[in-house]
């Protein structure tokens, strides 16, 4: 298999739980290898608590998951 496809598959697998657990956030994996999430207010549920955090970034998808969980619990 092509190395580019392997990397894309790995990113997609890492991104899936983030998108599932945090549907109001746009998840981005940059060319530099960092993970980012940007809150999309149009995708938030109406009954969701508001958050002051609108973007977070981390070195890993696991780190991003922890930061998003913290942002959602504030």
Q: How confident is the model at residue 12 (pLDDT cuts 50, 70, 90)?
A: very high
Domain boundary assignment for the chain:
3-73
pLDDT of 19-66, one tens digit each? 999 999 999 999 999 999 999 888 776 555 566 789 999 999 999 999
Cα-atom radius of gyration of the chain, to the nearest Å?
13
Q: Band the pLDDT of 1: cuts 50, 70, 90.
A: low
The torsion angles phi and psi of 63, rounded to 5 degrees, stand at -65, -40
Q: Max alpha carbon distance in the chain (Å)?
A: 45
Q: What pLDDT score was predicted for residue 73?
A: 84
24 Cα distance to chain centroid: 9
- Cβ-in-10-Å burial (0-12, 13-18, 19+) of 5 comes to exposed
């Amino acid at each position: 298999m092509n190395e580019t496809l392997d990397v894309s598959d790995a990113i997609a697998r890492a991104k899936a739980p983030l998108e599932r657990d945090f549907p109001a956030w746009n998840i981005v994996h940059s060319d530099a290898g960092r993970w980012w999430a940007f809150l999309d207010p149009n995708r938030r549920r109406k009954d969701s608590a508001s958050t002051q955090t609108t973007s977070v970034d981390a070195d890993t998808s696991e780190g991003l998951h922890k930061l998003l969980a913290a942002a959602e619990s504030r």
